[in-house]
Amino acid sequence: MAQSPEGCDVTRTEQVAFTGKDAVDTLSVTVAGDPCRDATVVLRIVNKDGREVYLYEGVLVEHLPFIVHEPELIPLVSFFAEKVIRDGFIRRTNDLPPWAPVEQYYDSTNDIIIVSEAVYNGLRGMKKPIFWHAAGDATWVHVVYDNRSQYGRIIMRGGVFQSAGDD
């Protein structure tokens, strides 16, 4: 008799500095679903007052670089959640490379800047924390806290895209 696929429910939290370089915010990574192959990823950052300052939701399997089958998927859920916690905040805006035209910037970084040149250059002059995370199959986003809206703002999207000659 075949076993039915198991569900998964993993949550990891960590204190992070998102709303400012000395802020005490909380990043929560939750992956839950039954069966696990249908799990949803929820990334949430709340400030010290408990107010949400960033939210992202997506389907787990769209965030994995390869196809995984039950039961191998369940151990991967904890790895995924821990990787977001460990690698989400490794840069600041003053680490960003200089502005460049779209193709040149993408060729050197695999990222596309989606804010104006003035906003981008202004961010480079600050030391704002950048939250990086996967946002689907071979894509990711870079998010900074926007003081005006008091919420996370995506400043770059990245990915590995095939060019016409890569067929």
pTM comes to 0.88
pLDDT surpasses 50 at 2:
no
d(CA 134, CA 37): 17
Query: Which pLDDT band holds residue 3 (cuts at 50, 70, 90)?
Result: very low
The tokens describing 133, both together, are 């995370």
Q: What does the pLDDT look like over 101-159, one tens digit per residue?
A: 999 999 999 999 999 999 999 999 999 999 999 998 788 999 999 999 999 999 999 98
Q: What does the pLDDT look like over 52-89, one tens digit per residue?
A: 999 999 998 888 766 666 667 878 888 889 999 999 99
